[in-house]
Amino acid sequence: MAVVTPPAPAVAAPQQLVVLDDEAVTLKSGNSTAHKQMLAVCQKALAGWEHVSAADVEFSTVSAGITNVNAKLAPRPELGLAPVMFKVFGEKTEQIIDRSAERVIVVALGDQGFGPQVLALFANGRIEQWLNCCSITPQDMCSARMVPRIARQLRRFHGIQVDLPRQPHAPWGVINEWMDKAQQLQFTDPVKQAAYEQIDFAALAAEVRETQAVCALTQSPVVFGHCDLLSGNILILQQPGFDPSAPDLDGPLIFIDYEYGGYTFRGFDVGNHFTEYAGFEGDYTRYPSKQQQELFFRHYLAQEQQEVAAATAAAAGATLDPAAAAAAAAAELPPVDPEVLDRLSAEANVWALAAHIYWGVWAIIQACNSPIDFDYMQFSRVRLGEFRRRKEEFLAEARRVFGGADGDAAAAAAADS
């Protein structure tokens, strides 16, 4: 399969990024009010929208995810204006997401062609260019057809440079902050409150410390991570007018939604991605086997070698044809030492445990704060249950692969820090 590097997407309407921090959209007031507010923001922010009326725009919900609400605003074709994606942040999500850092990330990545161009920012959301694209399912994501492409794109993503501190805050700093918040909640729903009171936070805190200590053994490198690479955040660009029932799954592949992104550990980003093979339904029979992980890592490493070769050539004043290099790399994967593959797999697996804790605690907070119709408490139970089901297996694997006397000392030091 050809490896396609997505081109920098065209901007819906060439303009400077507009920031409207005094504008907000209130979802609780109902669709009619929300649509009026969305249109008012577009009229202020987007060139050519100044006199567009509500009758001129088709509003449609793209997805009511479990963090944000997304809508497509499509003006009548005769107006000659491109549709836009209108993203409204979930209520109180600023308690779990650093929205200031997110602004830096989404603008930087859009400018570098890694996602949709950001057209405007407002108090509780943003407007992005609309992309003709299709999403993929969890089953697609873990297929042999898609895994090599995702692995290569994730390696490219890990090389992004963004003007943020390189000291990782996720997952451990974030988990500790969320644990503090999660222990101070009060639910108005008595059923949720009863479920909440069954959570043993002291035991969970001890599990966090143990997992962090063993993760430290891997010495996983710091990369720019997506940290939420589930199937809904992977899109395949399509030609205008494509048939949604028969999309071209070989089109350029992009990642979207970087609100949890930032500098983190490679193992956390990859391990988290592997946990997302299960989908929201939590079918962890899809968690990748050793053979499936090897397919991922062979392509990840091949992309890394390709990048090193390009950088070496550039330093010598030469150039490499990116398309030819990608085709050659896809046609014949370079050999990889089995021990390297073992270490990468053990690294991803033990950091996958961190991902389960991360989203398990996140969901407890969301269960109290979010108005989105989703059973966050059940989601938390599933994630923490899977963490405990695989914990001893993955911790033992990491200790075997990375341990020893020096490793045990490093783990103890990490646990005390």
pLDDT digits (tens, 9 = 90+) for 14-68: 468 999 999 999 877 667 889 999 999 999 999 999 999 999 999 998 864 678 8
In angstroms, rounded to a whole number, what is the distance separating the alpha carbons of residues 47 and 41?
A: 12
Residue 362 lies in a domain: yes
In angstroms, rounded to a whole number, what is the distance separating the alpha carbons of residues 136 and 232?
A: 6
Residue 207 lies in a domain: yes
The pLDDT of residue 119 is above 50? yes
- Say if CB 354 and CB 268 are below 8 A apart: yes
Q: Give DSSP secondary structure letters for 355-415.
A: HHHHHHHHHHHHHHH--SS--HHHHHHHHHHHHHHHHHHHHHHHHHHH-SHHHHHHHHHHH
φ/ψ region of 13 (left if φ > 0, alpha if ψ in -120 to 50, else beta) reads: beta
Q: Of 71, 104, 130, which residue constitutes the final position of a domain?
A: 130
Residue 331 lies in a domain: yes
Please give the pLDDT value at position 394.
Answer: 98
In angstroms, rounded to a whole number, what is the distance separating the alpha carbons of residues 234 and 329?
A: 22
Give the residue among 93, 117, 96 at the shortest CA–CA distance from 107: 117
Residue with tokens 């491109």: 82
Give the residue among 328, 340, 268 at the shortest CA–CA distance from 301: 340
Q: Looking at the structure, tell me whether residues 198 and 346 fall in a common domain.
A: yes
* Mean of the per-residue pLDDT values of the chain: 89
Q: Looking at the structure, tell me whether residues 90 and 181 fall in a common domain.
A: no
Dihedral of CA atoms 324, 329, 105, 230 in degrees, nearest 10, equals: 130
Q: Looking at the structure, tell me whether residues 168 and 277 fall in a common domain.
A: yes
- Name the helix (H) or strand (E) containing 269: helix 266-275
Q: Looking at the structure, tell me whether residues 172 and 93 fall in a common domain.
A: no
Q: Of 130, 164, 188, which residue constitutes the final position of a domain?
A: 130
φ/ψ region of 414 (left if φ > 0, alpha if ψ in -120 to 50, else beta) reads: alpha
Please give the pLDDT value at position 364.
Answer: 98
Q: Looking at the structure, tell me whether residues 218 and 334 fall in a common domain.
A: yes
What percent of the chain has a predicted confidence (pLDDT) above 70? Answer: 89
319: containing domain: 138-416
Pick the more confident residue, 355 or 61. Answer: 355
Task: Report residue 206: phi and psi, to 5°.
Answer: -65, -40
Q: Looking at the structure, tell me whether residues 363 and 224 fall in a common domain.
A: yes
Q: Looking at the structure, tell me whether residues 125 and 142 fall in a common domain.
A: no
Residue 5 lies in a domain: no
Task: For residue 176, give the CATH number of its domain.
Answer: 3.90.1200.10
- Name the helix (H) or strand (E) containing 128: strand 125-129
The mean pLDDT of 408-413, rounded to a whole number, is 50
Whole-prediction pTM value?
0.88
Residue 227 lies in a domain: yes
- Say if CB 38 and CB 143 are below 8 A apart: no
Residue 3 lies in a domain: no
Q: Of 102, 130, 158, which residue constitutes the final position of a domain?
A: 130
Question: 2: pLDDT confidence band, cut at 50, 70 and 90?
Answer: very low
What percent of the chain has a predicted confidence (pLDDT) above 90? Answer: 75
Residue 153 lies in a domain: yes
- Chain segment 137-173, per-residue pLDDT in tens: 999 999 999 999 999 999 999 999 999 999 999 999 9
Residue 7 lies in a domain: no
Cα–Cα distances in Å, from 377 out to 141, 207, 364? 26, 19, 6
In this structure, the number of other CB atoms found within 10 A of the CB of residue 302 comes to 23
Q: Looking at the structure, tell me whether residues 358 and 257 fall in a common domain.
A: yes
The pLDDT of residue 1 is above 60? no
Token reading at 108: 């930087």
3-state secondary structure of 130: coil
Q: Total structural domains in the chain? A: 2
- Chain segment 161-204, per-residue pLDDT in tens: 999 999 999 999 999 999 999 999 999 999 999 999 999 999 99
Please give the pLDDT value at position 7.
Answer: 38
Q: Looking at the structure, tell me whether residues 177 and 298 fall in a common domain.
A: yes
Give the residue among 346, 299, 359 at the shortest CA–CA distance from 150: 299
In angstroms, rounded to a whole number, what is the distance separating the alpha carbons of residues 106 and 122?
A: 13
- Chain segment 211-240, per-residue pLDDT in tens: 999 999 999 999 999 999 999 999 999 998
Task: For residue 103, give the CATH number of its domain.
Answer: 3.30.200.20
- Chain segment 293-352, per-residue pLDDT in tens: 999 999 999 999 999 888 788 788 777 666 666 565 556 788 999 999 999 999 999 999
Give the residue among 175, 149, 182, 192 at the shortest CA–CA distance from 227: 175
Omega before 171 cis (within 30°)?
yes
Q: Looking at the structure, tell me whether residues 102 and 150 fall in a common domain.
A: no
Q: Looking at the structure, tell me whether residues 231 and 378 fall in a common domain.
A: yes
Q: Looking at the structure, tell me whether residues 167 and 115 fall in a common domain.
A: no
